[in-house]
Structures are given as structure tokens and as C-alpha cells.
Structure 1
Amino acid sequence: MPRTIVTHWQHAPTGATGSRDAHCLYPGVPVAIDMQKRVGRNRIIYNGPAAIWPEGLPMGNGDLAAMAFQPADSLCWGLTKSDVRDLRHPVVPWCDHPTIRRIFENEHNHLLTDQINEEEWDFRTYFPCFLPAGGLWLSALHQGELAVKRQVLDLYQAQHTLELVCGGQVTSFVYADANVLAIRLTGMNGRRLRLRFGPEAVEPGHAGDDNSPTAQLIRKEIFRRQLRHWQPDQGRLQVDYADGHRTLLMLQIRGATLGFSQPDANEATVDLQADTVDILMTIATSRQGAFLQRRASLLLETAWQRNVDRLLADHHNCWHERWSRSAVHLPQRILESLWFYASYTMASSSRGAYPTPLMSAWNLRLDQPYGGDFHNNINSQMCYWPLPAANHADLMPPFLKHFWSVIPEMEMETRRVWNLPGIKVPFASMGRGIDHWGVGYWRYELFVSAWLAQVAWWHYEFTGDRQALLQFGWPLIQGVAEFYMAYLETDPATGKLSLPLTKLCEDTMFNVVPAQRLVRDAGLDLTAVHSHLRDAAQAADVIGQPQPAARYRSALANLNPLPVVGGEFSPAPAMAMDVPVSHPYQLAAIYPAGLVTQLGPASLLPIAQRTLAQVWRCSSRVSIGQPDTGRLRWNDDLSMGWIATARAWMGDGDGALDALLNGWVTSTLKTNGFLTEQSRRPSERSAMGWMQNQLCGLANGINEMLLQSHSGVIQIFPALPGTWTDVSFVHLVARPGVRVSARRSGGIIRWVVLSAEKQNTVCLRNPWPGQALESLAVVDTSFPDVLMPVAANDAGHLLLTILPNQPLMVVPKDRLPLEPVIDAPHDDGIEPWSFTGPIPLRPGDPQPDGTWTSWWGKP
């Protein structure tokens, strides 16, 4: 995250031209998008206050985040910052792998994991944890003075606006390129308010905070000292934490005067003396360096010199650049809105020192679930799955750099706990390379290492950034591969390589059959080793390391096959798929491993299809009070997005839409655009929390319905639902770093445009399979009157050579010449988004039942 304020909008997004107030033009693409209308109509509107913080509306710049909410007679901004966290390691004597294996296998003490849980889990294991950075409260001295009439979160402009009953207005935004929260109050001249700020984002016991016993213990444990100081135009709060780090919250005000009984008082009064009053606030941390007060003062001084109007203009331009990178148009308005919302939340939370935390940057609890950690057994990765394909790969470096930075600690822990070389990625971590849970069998989720390294490999596949692969990706990819190579041993039953001790993931059978808690070759872990050795060999080829590549391929060729029982991928050898599990792990061979897709191999296609068809029956996630129809059994923080993506990779667009819309959005959508952790009736969702990976999993499913590029083949609209006759996208990205745009209207694909910054030869699955190659035209858009010859390989895929920054259009000849299209969607005035589900997937289908109507917006 830049620490200096940019002076102007320096450049347009790659491949797009135009100013903030003009249409975005994409070279070679016959469409001009009014991005302000396309994104802006997806604003979130409340016709009243957000009385508790879980209903609040989020803002952020990738490092500093704010959640705006309004308890009675107050306006509140709860703040978080990516590097405000406790990094202490719990002092717990963890049991190492050789000991667990000896006791479990030789002594047959299958209750060992229960004993370890009891010994290794207590309040101390809550740390390390993600922490709120502070809170700012403006309170009325008289009842009703700050009553909220209406509020809007404008996604396009990334700003929040409150309309007050008294006629005043409050606008706030987290400046895109510096850690400054700006608040502007207008129409309130002559009023007096109360101002407070503190180290917590929510007052304990108020506005949705239950002040739990754990929170009370954390409060005593974490905060060591708080120093406040008020001046007539400034307030600051220094917070010293138990792990040795320090933060400084600094606030400055113009157009008003602060009054206080003494310089270190807990609060101040604000006398508004102008029609426009501006407040700027920043947070400096010792993790970024010394001289906190000096750094905070200089940052705010620079901001005042530019003034809030110019900051807001620059802020809008930065977000226009973000939105101009890509766009989609979907028939289901709610899915389109959530796709943009996923990009908004990731751009608002993944540009700082650390990746996006599990509970998102806007969870304001002091006692966040799981400590707000990085859950590396899919949640962390799912946050980053959609970014490269959505043309937001620039948001991935915090993920890559963080896990690269803790490689030495991960290697040390791997040697200490496993007595093996390489890297075993922690199941759960927070700013360090140590598994801060450590609890018993959870460390045997071996797949977490492969999936985390896979994000680094995908970054290269979509961007072609060899330097980033060499510096950040390869050390992690190689380390994980070396751990697997050392952990593999010969299976006495097959003579092939196998994983001697692995975990059946989150299975309820743990509580029923202790002897099966740890097994040989759990399907998910074995699948991950298959895919990782494949990817590691390819990565070694890219960076010129033939010896590791040969070793990995040799081991891969001698690895036990994936367990299959009853014609379906199974959790473990000789174990039927219908054991109750909490997530659909049997789909891993399809996604994200990509060992089988709709393109093959033929031997695995029927297994994958049968697994997808039968996966519903084995879920253990049935929420309390949920209709037991089978439809929603997987409805938790990640499963529906995963199922949708797997269905898309198998070409089932209707199934993907059913999972996302009818299965997920219908029963989890909150008023502020997030999705609840598990399905609940609308009346029960208000105070529920959420996880960041939910929005990203949904966006990822949409990406894969529109564009796929696995198996060396680019596929346009590979998994469209039957009702999606009018759909388009601009500048989504396919492997190997090719920007793709396409439009379908009236059920017919009209055109496809491909471009790249580097020369690439790609295979494009024929978007018009019923038409002969002679009827298609390939056009270099720089020379639209010259038709290039169409070449194809033996599989019938089009072979295209794309030169740098010279877009190619593929289109049926009978549709030439093309007329440019203006994409400026009408603002339909829906306030806010409107969705009632479930919906029939095909014309003539009966209305689905067994799910709840979604709830969107506050009355």
C-alpha cells in the first residue's frame, strides 16, 4: 500500500482509455462501457440507520478499512488496519508427528487426538489474532439530532453518504492511496456533538457487541497502555499492546473546534462553526517504523494541503481505474452486483502488509471467530481464486509476499514438528509461519500446503510474471513439493507411493469411529499431492530447473491413484462417499486440482459426473431450523461456491446457477451484501457474521461459468445456464495472460476478442461448434478489412497467435462489419438490489421450494 499521497491520476488501466466521466474504451472490443452507470447502479441503500455493526457498510483502501454504522443518536466508524494484530505464539507443548504416529499406529490409542485437544486448547491458543484498530464515535447531545433518514454506499465512487433527518449530510471515504479516513459534515453549522475514539471498533456491549467472556479476557490481556491527548483542532490516542507493538490514532478537524475538560480526557465536544466541517483521521503503527506521531502528522498535513475536494477527486479516479479493468453483464442482477461487490471488498482489503483475513477486514469484534486468522484449508485460498481471471491479479502480492516472508519459520516448524525437510504450511496462521492452533489431527490436513502454493502458480499462469514466480512463488512451490517427497512412503499393499497418515477433513465420523480419524491416503490429501507435483514440475520447467522437474514427475508417475468407491471419488480407500462431511471435499479432483474437467480425461469423466450428481447426500451441514429438503445441506461459508465452480468446470451451467443463486444467495444474503456463515431465515441474519471467502467463492463460480482456460484450451461461455441468452464480459483473463472479451445476445455468441501484452499462441475452443471454420473470420482489429486465415488443431480448436497489444477478433463472417455497442445501463431505481428466490432454472420448470426468500435492503 503506498504510504504517500499520489498527486494525480497518472495512467489509465491496462487496455482501457478514457477519463472518469467518459466511456471506457477497450482496444479492439466493439463496446464502450459507461462504467459509472454499470457499477454505480449496484449501490447499497438503507432507508434508515445500521443500528449494529454487522449491518454496517464497508469502505477501505486495502490496508485501512472502516465500517460505518449508526447506533441510537450516534455515527460510528469502526476501523481495522492490516498490520494491527497480536503476533505472539501460544506457549503450548505441542506433540510432534513421530510421537502421534507411534501412539496412533503402534499403541492403537485412537483417542489420542482427544487428549491432545484437551492439552493444547485453551484461552492461550486464541493468540495470535487479528485486532480492530480503533473506533470513532460522533454522538448527539440531544435525542434525534443525528437521526439517519437515508444512507448510500456507492461502489463506483467507494464512498458512504448519510442523509440526516435534520437536513445535514455526512460523507466519508477511506482514501484510495493513503491511510486517511475522510469525513465531511455539511448543513450542520452551529450544532454541538460529542466525539470519542478508542482502541476498539465497537463499544463493548453495544451496537451488536455482546462483550463475551473471551472478549473481556482479551481486553485485559492485550491492551497495556492508552494515552489520549486533545488540542483545539486535533486528538490523538496512543495504544501499547502486550506483544510490544504500538499504534497511534490521530484525528484533525477543520471548520470546528474541539472542547475538553483536560488534555487527556476520554472525550471532547465538537462545536461546528461552518457549513462544511472536515475531519481527517489516520493510524500509524510501529510495524511500519518509528516516529509514529511525526509520520501521522506529516500524512495529515499533506492531505490538508491537497484539501478534501481534491482527495475525493483523486479517490474517485483511482476507483475508476479499478473498475475499468474488467466488467460483466449478467441476466441475474443480484449475481452481477455481488460479482462487483467481491472486487470492491478485495480491493478494499488486499493492498496492505498482510492478506485478507478470514473474517474480512470489517469484523469489528475483539474476539473474532478463529482469531480472524488465515484459515489455509481453503478459506484463505478461495479469497484469491477469482482475482487473476477477473483481471485483479495486482491484489495478489500481499498473499504472495506474506507467505514468502514466513518461509524460514515454516521450514523451521516443519523440521521441528515433522522432522522432515521442506514446507508444511500451517492449517491456520496469523502473520507467522507457525500453526497457531496445532490441535491434534488438524495438522494432518496435508492439502493446505498444495492449495496455498497453487495460488502462487496460478498467479504466474494468468500473468506470465516470471520474476514474481522466481522470487515469491518458486520457493514456496518447491518447499511444499520437497515436504511431500519426504513424507511419501511405499504403500505395502500396492507398492506405490502413498501418504502414511492423513486426516479425513472435518468429518462428523471423528466422533463415531476414532480409529478412522487418521488414515492412509485420504482422498483430498492424495489429490492435492497429485496436482501439486504436476504444477511444481511445470514451475521448475519455467525457471529452468530440469532436475527437480524430473524428480517430481517420477514420483507422480508412481503415486497411488485417487480413491474411488462405487464409481465416485471417495474420502479414503474402501470408504463410501456417503460418510457425513462438512464440505464437499470429494470435488477437489475437479476443482481446484483440475485432474478432471469437461475436457477429460475420458477415464475420469464418468467418475466426476457421478460424484457431482451424488454429492448432496453426504453433507453434515444442516443448519438449525433449516428445511430438510437436501437442497441446502451444503449451505455454509464456502461449499456452494466450490460446488458451483466444480459444476462449471464440468460444463453444468444450470447446476452452477442453482448452487449460487438458489442454494446460496437465497438463504444467506445480508443487507450489507455479505453472506452469512450458514443459511438462516431472513429475520435471523441481521447480527450474523460472514467470511470474506464467501463473496470471492461466488465471484469465482461466475468467472468459470463465463470463461475457462484450464487444460491448455480457452473456452468461451463454457457453462452457461439455459436462461442466460444475453450475457457479456470485457477483459476477463485467461491463461496464459490473455485478455478476453465476448458478447452473447439472443442466445448467439456475437464476437470474441483476445489481446495480450506478450506474444502468445493459444488454443480457442470453437465458440460456434456447429459452423465450419471457413465461415469464421479472424481479424486484426488494427486492420479490420483484412481477414486472416483460420487454423485449427486435430481437436478442432482454433489456433491463434496474438501479438503484443494487437487484439484479434473472432467472429462469423456473416456478421461483419460489426457496429460498436454503447453499454450504458439504465439506472432502474431499485433501492436497493431486489431479489426474490429461488427461481426456476429453465423455462417451464416448477417454482422450487424448500429454500427461503432472500432479504435485501433495510426498510
Structure 2
Amino acid sequence: MKLLALLLGLLCVTIIHGQPKPGYNLDLKQIPLRWDEALPLGNGWLGALIWQKENKLRISLDRVDLWDDRPMPQIDRLTFKWVQQQVAKGEYDTVQKIGDWPYEQNAAPCKIPGAAIEFKMPDASVVSASLDISNGISSVIFSNGIRFGSYIHASKQEGYFGWTEFDPSLIDSFLPSLIPPRYQAEQAGSPKDGGSLSRLGYEQGKITKGKNSLRYHQPTWGTHYYEVLIEWVNIYNKKLVGAWTISVDKPASLHKIDTAHSEYTDMRSHLAWWKDFWDRSSISIPDTLLERQYYLDMYKFGCVARSNAPPISLQAIWTADDGRLLPWKGDLHHDLNTQLSYWPGYTANHTDLTAGFTNWLWKVRAENKRWTQQYFGVEGLNVPGVSTISGKPMGGWIQYAMSPTTVCWLSQNFYWQWRYTNDTAFLRERAYPWVRDAATYIVNLVRKRDGNYYLPLSSSPEYNDNKISAWFSDWTNYDLSLVSYLLQTESIMARALNRPRDAQRKRLEELRMALPSAAVDETGLLMAPGVRMDHSHRHMSPYISLFPLKNLHVVAKAIKNDTTVIANSFRHLERFGT
């Protein structure tokens, strides 16, 4: 009985502590004046930014699958074999013209903006602008008592806003305006910094006004389109409550705001979702500033990830609201960005949300296999390092945008999803087949030389940028560590499933045993044999075997003292101030 009481007491403490402290909320004295400093809301599908633009209260609206997914011109002309030939001849500008330049020269494919809602500001000063991260509700309070609130429902593709405590005679002044992107503006700026939305070539969409609604229909590429719908109700001249949504390739619709019930917008289920989110884990560390930052970032993770949503892109559901095309096209970067975006979810007990990434990788595997065959010329599975929402290649700096080892790092997400859930069905039906296809691709791509296996060309993000010198004939420590990790992961999964040691597994074991040792000298881990990192480098890619792969003991098999290698590597990093 005492043990039961103790366990129940601990459970209560855990649940209470799981909720973020009120002091971790965003509590401001004024409304943010920039879109990139706004109060963020989201549910994995829809996103909103609350800020002030000039004299208007603005809600920037976004949706995760708002994409112009047209094919990148010339991308299928590239093959890895041809790239190898051009590198060998020292004629790399020909590769850059086809593989790198189109990414900057063409406006699309890219993520595209949605629209915005604007309201006239009350004739009063702002007392506070806040975001409660425990429930994803933002509010603005004015000196005359008027209040504004907004949230995006955690499990419905709808966002809500409301005004209260105003003079009933002023209700019309709080009606929303729909502000569409300017797809017909004059061209401005360079491709690198975004440039005008008019480069997409769209006709400007149309707004249809109803009695208490606004609908925006925007044609995009080809026969595609999206719609933004806003609806609102006047509740006894005391409250103005509205809803909004965005749809892609279908008419937008909203659930009716039911004024007959006190809970107009189904907030109860929204609050329950966020309570469950925070109840799943917590941290407590002496550094309160760092602890607050953790909770703020976990709030953002709760906003951007869902099991059925596309993955987290460069700006996720908070597309830049500056009237321009997005920097780096708002695409999916798999040489660090997507992987790190999901890291917090595994240890924080949010594997329901991290599943969104592996679900998407599984969904686009047919396209990825097609590209693997077309570009690398072998059977199996690789993933473009820079891709569209449908998994298609976009090019860019092809050493990384078309890296031969992207799939190896992504295999870690399948491995972690399995290990953190202990889901044997997931391992059997998705994780192992995906990893096996990836390993098949690698074993088909490598070539034997002097008793060891090597890639035809190797690289390390983003060392030497897109120059010919960014290609290496020997293994980079980055690529070597990743391939070793993939083969080790395949072996662990196969043993867990009691898979027979067939001919393919024997090939993989032979490859694993015949990989060279990592390149090391007195400065620690190198970029590649004989190549030290000679400047500050944001990716720290030579050190991937230290973390997150944690396989230095495997890849540095010729090294007797791992501790010395690690210490020397850190000293070398500190020398450059990285």
C-alpha cells in the first residue's frame, strides 16, 4: 500500500513538472515588429506568425505542403559517372552549369507563401503580447482593455482568432482583411537573396468576399492551386470570433463556429493535445536560461511535427513573410537540417511525432529509387541531399545536394524510430526493408582498390563549397563514418529479425570488413587522408563519428587510443574558434 502511494505521488510530481513553467512563456511589452521575431503558432500542417506590420496586427498564414513542385530543369541530364569523368579531366565548370547553377537561376521548385490576415490596431497602446507555450495560445492586451487571441488547433487544420472587451459600436473596425502574396509585383532582387514572387509566373489570385467570409483562390504551377478561407461570427456585439484554413488542390472549408455552445472552437481537445505533449517528458537543470530555451524549442517542435505531415523543411510552417521568394527555396536539406530537427523528439518521448519523418521517407522511396538508378546507375536506394516535398532532386552544390551517402545518415532516423519504440512490426515492415535497400545501393556503388572498398568520389559537407576540390578520390571521414554506420545498422536489424546470412548479407559483411580506417593525425580526425580542416567549419562533418553516429571505435580501427583522437580533435576545433 505504501509502495502504491509512493508511485502515485511520483506520477503526480512527474505530470506537474512536465508542464513548462509560466516564466518560460514569451511575454513581451509590445507586438513584434518583424516576421522573424513573431509569436509562432502551428500544428505540423498549418503555421502562423503574430506580429505588427506598420499600423496593422498581422497573422502570417502558412501550410507545410504549399509547394511549387515543378521539376528542376536539366536535373536528369546529370549522372554520377559523368561527374567522375569531368572531375578526372579537371573540367568541372560543365558540371556546375547543369548541377549547381539551375538551383539559383530558377525560382522553382520551392516552398511558397500562403497569405496573411490583418486587423486595424485599436486606438490604444499595447500592454502585453504573449505566447503561452503550454497550450500554443497567443494573446495581445491593449491599454483600453481590448484583448486579441489566436491559436492553431493542435489536431485540426484550422486556426482561430478573436477580439473581446471592445465597445460594441466599434465591432466593424475589427473585421479581418485578407492580404495575398504579390505574385504580379515587379521583379526585384537576385536569385540568391530570394527575389520577386513574380518569377514564379503565376496569375494573381482572386479574393471572393462573402457576408462573413473571405476566400482567396491562387493558381500555381500547371493545374495546381491553393485556397485560403477566413470566416467569422459576431457574438452579441461582444466578441468577434473567426477561423481560417489553407487547402491545396481542393476548395477550402471550415467547421462551423458554433455559437450555441460556450466552446466555440473545440478548444478542449486542443488543450488536451498540448497537455499530453508536455506530460511525456521534462528536464530540470541548474542553468535556468538554458532550461527555458529547451522548453521554447520543444514548443516549436510541437508546432512543426506530426506523424502524418510532411517533414520539417528549412523554415517549416513559418515561411518568410517579406514578399519575396524564400532563401534556399525553403527546401528539405538532408545533410544536417532535417536530421537535427527531429533529434529532440526521440529522447523526449515524442516518437509519435518523429514518425512523421520516417513515414515521409517511406512514402517517397519509389521516387528516390528512380533517382538512384538514373543518377548513380545502380539498384538500391539513396535520397537527394536537397529535395522537394515529393522527394525529387533539386541540385545545388551537388557534392551535398546529390551526395552518395545521404541515405546513410537518414538510416539513423529509421534505427532510432525502431529502438525508441521497440516496434518490431515497424522494424520488419519498414525500417529493415528501407535500410536494406540503402545498403544494396552502397554495395553496388563502391569499387575495390588496393584491398579496400572506396566510393568513386567522396565529399564532406560543405567543405570547399562547390569547387572541384570539394571532391576527394579517397574516403572523407564523413562518408566513411556514414557508410560504416549504415552497414552496422543493417547487420543489427537483420540479427534482430533472425534474417538468414544470404549472399547479399555476405557481400555487405565483406564490404564492412574491407573499409579503410579513418584518417587521423596529431590534430585528430581529418577531412580526408592528408587533408586537415584548415578553417572554421559550421558542419563539423569530419567529426560525425563522434556524434551522432558514435562509431569512432569502428571507423578508426587502426587507432589504439580513441581518447587521444577525440581530445586532439577538440583542440583543433578550438583553435579555429568553432
TM-score, structure 2 as length reference: 0.89
Q: Distance in 2 between matches of 1:40 and 1:535?
A: 42
Residue 513 of structure 2 corresponds to residue 557 of structure 1: yes
Q: Please identify, of 174-183 and 244-253, the stretch whose mean Cα deviation from structure 2 is larger.
A: 244-253
Residue 440 of structure 2 corresponds to residue 482 of structure 1: yes
Q: Distance in 1 between matches of 2:29 and 2:409?
A: 42
Shift of 1:244: 2.7
Alignment check: 8 A CA contact 2:382 2:405 kept:
no
Aligned residue number for residue 771 of structure 1: none
Residue 299 of structure 2 corresponds to residue 320 of structure 1: no
Which of 272, 282, 294 is the equivalent residue of 2:245? Answer: 282
Q: Distance in 2 between matches of 1:56 and 1:233?
A: 27
Aligned residue number for residue 337 of structure 1: 292
Q: Distance in 1 between matches of 2:539 and 2:334?
A: 14
Return the letter of the residue paired with 1:238.
Answer: H
Alignment check: 8 A CA contact 1:373 1:429 kept:
yes
| Gap runs ≥5 in structure 1 | 1-23, 257-272, 619-629, 635-859
Which of 392, 395, 403 is the equivalent residue of 1:437? Answer: 395
How is 1:125-524 mapped onto 2 (pairs within 5 angstroms)? 126-140=107-121, 145=123, 147-188=125-166, 189-191=168-170, 192-193=172-173, 195-200=176-181, 212=189, 214=191, 217-221=196-200, 223-255=202-234, 274-286=237-249, 290=250, 292-293=251-252, 296=253, 299-301=254-256, 308-309=263-264, 311-351=266-306, 352-365=308-321, 366-443=324-401, 445-492=403-450, 495-508=451-464, 514-515=468-469, 517-524=471-478
Residues 605 and 76 (structure 1 numbering): CA distance in 2 closer, same or farther, change over 3 Å? Answer: same
- SS for the counterpart of 2:317 is coil
Q: Distance in 1 between matches of 2:564 and 2:337?
A: 29
Alignment check: 8 A CA contact 1:223 1:242 kept:
yes
Q: Distance in 2 between matches of 1:300 and 1:211?
A: 40
Shift of 1:452: 1.1
Shift of 1:606: 1.9
Residues 115 and 91 (structure 1 numbering): CA distance in 2 closer, same or farther, change over 3 Å? Answer: closer
Residues 224 and 282 (structure 1 numbering): CA distance in 2 closer, same or farther, change over 3 Å? Answer: same
- SS for the counterpart of 2:148 is strand
Q: Distance in 2 between matches of 1:528 and 1:421?
A: 19
Return the letter of the residue paired with 1:128.
Answer: P
Q: Distance in 2 between matches of 1:483 and 1:451?
A: 14
Shift of 1:327: 0.7
Residue 41 of structure 2 corresponds to residue 59 of structure 1: yes
Cα deviation code 1:343-366 (max 9, x no counterpart)? 211111111530111123223244
Shift of 1:170: 0.4
Return the letter of the residue paired with 2:224.
Answer: H
- SS for the counterpart of 1:359 is coil
Residues 363 and 446 (structure 1 numbering): CA distance in 2 closer, same or farther, change over 3 Å? Answer: same
Q: Distance in 2 between matches of 1:398 and 1:242?
A: 26
Alignment check: 8 A CA contact 1:45 1:150 kept:
yes
Which of 73, 87, 100 is the equivalent residue of 1:91? Answer: 73
Structure with more of its chain in helix, by fraction: 2
Shift of 1:471: 3.3
Return the letter of the residue paired with 2:59.
Answer: W
Sequence identity percentage: 19
Shift of 1:534: 0.2
- SS for the counterpart of 2:255 is helix
Cα deviation code 1:264-317 (max 9, x no counterpart)? xxxxxxxxx61221111122222xxx5x25xx1xx4227667654562233222
Aligned residue number for residue 102 of structure 1: 85
Q: Distance in 1 between matches of 2:182 and 2:293?
A: 26
Q: Distance in 2 between matches of 1:468 and 1:595?
A: 24
Q: Distance in 1 between matches of 2:233 and 2:257?
A: 14
- SS for the counterpart of 1:190 is helix
Aligned residue number for residue 45 of structure 1: 27
Residues 572 and 220 (structure 1 numbering): CA distance in 2 closer, same or farther, change over 3 Å? Answer: closer
Residue 540 of structure 2 corresponds to residue 540 of structure 1: no
How is 1:458-857 mapped onto 2 (pairs within 5 angstroms)? 458-492=416-450, 495-508=451-464, 514-515=468-469, 517-546=471-500, 547=502, 548-566=504-522, 568-578=524-534, 581-596=537-552, 603-618=561-576, 630=577, 634=578
Shift of 1:318: 1.6
Q: Please identify, of 313-322 and 242-251, the stretch whose mean Cα deviation from structure 2 is larger.
A: 242-251
Alignment check: 8 A CA contact 1:596 1:605 kept:
no
Shift of 1:597: 7.7
Q: Distance in 2 between matches of 1:475 and 1:433?
A: 18
TM-score, structure 1 as length reference: 0.61
Return the letter of the residue paired with 1:333.
Answer: T
| Gap runs ≥5 in structure 2 | 1-5
Alignment check: 8 A CA contact 1:116 1:439 kept:
no
Residues 540 and 150 (structure 1 numbering): CA distance in 2 closer, same or farther, change over 3 Å? Answer: same
Q: Please identify, of 242-251 and 211-220, the stretch whose mean Cα deviation from structure 2 is larger.
A: 211-220
- SS for the counterpart of 2:205 is strand
Q: Distance in 2 between matches of 1:477 and 1:222?
A: 40
Q: Distance in 1 between matches of 2:446 and 2:163?
A: 63
Shift of 1:487: 1.3
Residues 524 and 333 (structure 1 numbering): CA distance in 2 closer, same or farther, change over 3 Å? Answer: same
Q: Distance in 2 between matches of 1:578 and 1:309?
A: 60
- SS for the counterpart of 2:300 is helix
Alignment check: 8 A CA contact 1:374 1:430 kept:
yes
Cα deviation code 1:387-428 (max 9, x no counterpart)? 111101111122111111111111111111111111221010
Alpha-carbon RMSD across the aligned residues, in angstroms, is: 3.1
Alignment check: 8 A CA contact 2:110 2:329 kept:
yes
Q: Distance in 2 between matches of 1:470 and 1:201?
A: 48
Q: Distance in 1 between matches of 2:517 and 2:260?
A: 65
Alignment check: 8 A CA contact 1:87 1:128 kept:
yes
Return the letter of the residue paired with 2:270.
Answer: H
